[in-house]
Amino acid sequence: MSSIKGVFTNWGEAYGRLVETYIDGTWWTVGDYLENVGKGTKRLLVNAYPFIYGGSSSSVFKGSSPKKAGFATATKDIEPRFKD
């Protein structure tokens, strides 16, 4: 070993790169998680309070008829299904 000049600095630089990559990756993952939680919360709030968050009740529930409300009724006869 003729020269050990730079051994500690090279090790420190490599360690710094490893830590930086780890921290950057962790924050990237945390950021993605928080972004998805925020989007999910926003969707839940729009569904729960449509008039407060810029929607309307008919736009939230696709396919709902504004003329009819209440319980669903059968349109076909269901008696033959249960006969042997």
Domain contains 2: no
Per the document, the length of the chain is 84
Angle at 27 between CA 24 and CA 31, to 5 degrees: 140
Domain contains 1: no
Model confidence band, residue 33 (pLDDT cutoffs 50, 70, 90): very high
- Whether the predicted pLDDT of 48 surpasses 60: yes
pLDDT tens by residue, 18-31: 999 899 889 999 99
- In sequence order, the 6+-apart residues with CB closer than 8 A to the CB of 55 are 46
Separation between Cα atoms, residue 53 and residue 59, nearest integer Å: 12
Number of domains in the chain: 1
52 vs 72: which has the higher pLDDT = 52
Domain contains 23: yes
Domain contains 67: yes
Domain that holds residue 11: 7-82
Radius of gyration of the chain (CA): 30
